Amino acid sequence: MSTQENVITVRGVHNQFGSHVVHHDLDLDVRSGEIIGIVGGSGTGKSVLLRTIVGLRKPQAGTINILGKEIFPNEHHDTDLNDEIGLLFQDGALFSSMTVAENVMAPLREHHPEISDKLAEEIAGMKLSLSGLDESVGMKMPSDLSGGMRKRVALARAMALDPRILFLDEPTAGLDPIGAAKFDELIISLRDNLGLTIFMITHDLDSLYRDCDRVAVLADKHVVINAPLSEVERFDHDWIQDYFGGPRGRAAEGAMSSRLEA
């Protein structure tokens, strides 16, 4: 793993809505092949940061580079990232009137209309199995599935175009602890087997301890630290100390160390 190579470089980003400054002078590096966890209190701008990095929102200042491509400022308006990044949004909504397979095929249909129906169906089946689902699930409607299965379908859709970077916004929110643990295992296996880089916003301390190589903390309008968890936990910052030092943080850390000892 060439962990030192940056696949995402964010410098000096400023985002504000009216007079409400969300990000000021925000820097972030994401390295190739890592699972980076993005944490921060509610409303600190985690989702806005994700949307800004993938080019869905233009910041008021700063520079953003993904895989050597300039996302912002993008003077030539020619940056096409569709084939390189996969997105799983916070609500993760599937199209309810389409079958599961049609949902997974949607990005293919949109960006690669030249692909035949037969091939698109094969690709959808493959992505569903990569996401830990039986290919036969493809014929079902989203409403027939459990919440955990719907998340997996959304993940299969995010992987439809063989991305190099996956962006996940709170992927385990709403799952029970067992469903969340299984989803975490899946994320790790995708990184290990496909060499994906994974940018994951999460509130879930268990996920952070299980999955993440590094954790970036959003507070005070910027990334206050981006480091392995062992370093983040020791960082002298009120929100971080409350978050990791609180009872939930200690329980998640305890669960991780007993697993490592076992």
Enumerate binding residues for ligand ADP (CB under 6 A). 17, 22, 40, 42-48
User: Cα–Cα distance between 15 and 49 in angstroms, integer?
Assistant: 9
| Closest distance to Mg ion from the beta carbon of 26 (Å) | 15
| Closest distance to Mg ion from the beta carbon of 23 (Å) | 13
Residue among 56 and 251 whose Cβ is closer to Mg ion: 56
Residue among 48 and 156 whose Cβ is closer to ligand ADP: 48
Q: What's the chain's length in residues? A: 262
Residues 6+ apart with CB under 8 A from 165: 7, 8, 30, 66, 67, 84, 85, 86, 196, 197, 198, 199
Residue among 32 and 44 whose Cβ is closer to Mg ion: 44
Considering CB under 5 A, how many residues would be counted as binding Mg ion? 2
Cα radius of gyration rounded to whole Å, the chain: 19
Supply 61's token pair.
């200042």
Residue among 42 and 96 whose Cβ is closer to ligand ADP: 42
In 3D space, the residue among 57, 1, 4, 56 whose CA is nearest the CA of residue 30 turns out to be 4
Among 16, 47, 65, 241, binds Mg ion (CB under 5 A): 47
| Closest distance to Mg ion from the beta carbon of 27 (Å) | 20
Binding partner of residue 193 among Mg ion, ligand ADP, none, CB cut-off 5 to 8 Å per kind? none
| Closest distance to ligand ADP from the beta carbon of 202 (Å) | 11
